[in-house]
Amino acid sequence: MTQEDTIFSKIIRKEIPSYKVYEDELVYAFLDISQVTKGHTLVVPKQATTNILTADSETASAVFARVPKIARAIQEAFPDVKGMNVLSNAEEIASQSVFHWHVHLIPRYHKNNDGF
């Protein structure tokens, strides 16, 4: 499978539906299909790269520059958000399952709970 064939490339090309949170010419952000907590969002570069270990600095800059804005948009949509985990899994050994780089934004609502 090439990087362009991942499910996320199909989502970016709108061949597969997703719930859009944010989009511009470089980045697409959408709700994770499996919500760890309410508002769990994935931030994805449109330019496919496998993960943070392969991303060039231009792509990394584009993604990380937008993360605070997208995180605050989630908080505005869900005002009971108290905090957020921001993480990215790289390679199977670190639990990566889709090999198109993405950053998870996982809102937190209460201590030790699932946020629903």
Q: Which stretch binds ligand 5GP (CB under 6 A): 54-62, 74-82, 93-101, 107-115?
A: 93-101
Per the CB < 8 A criterion, the answer to whether 63 and 50 are in contact is: no
- SS3 category, 24: coil
Q: Does 33 bind ligand 5GP (CB under 6 A)?
A: yes
Is 100 assigned a catalytic role? no
The single residue among 28, 30, 106, 115 that binds ligand 5GP, judged by CB under 6 A, is 30
Q: Does 18 bind ligand 5GP (CB under 6 A)?
A: yes
CA pair distance 46, 37, nearest whole angstrom: 25
Residue for token pair 């994935």: 42
Residue closer to ligand 5GP (CB basis): 21 or 62: 21
Both structure tokens of 87: 């993480």
CA pair distance 52, 86, nearest whole angstrom: 13
Residue closer to ligand 5GP (CB basis): 67 or 98: 98
Residue closer to ligand 5GP (CB basis): 2 or 97: 97
The single residue among 97, 111, 112, 113 that binds ligand 5GP, judged by CB under 6 A, is 97
Phi-psi region of 50 (alpha: psi -120 to 50; beta: other; left: phi over 0): alpha
Least spacing, CB of residue 85 vs ligand 5GP, in Å = 12
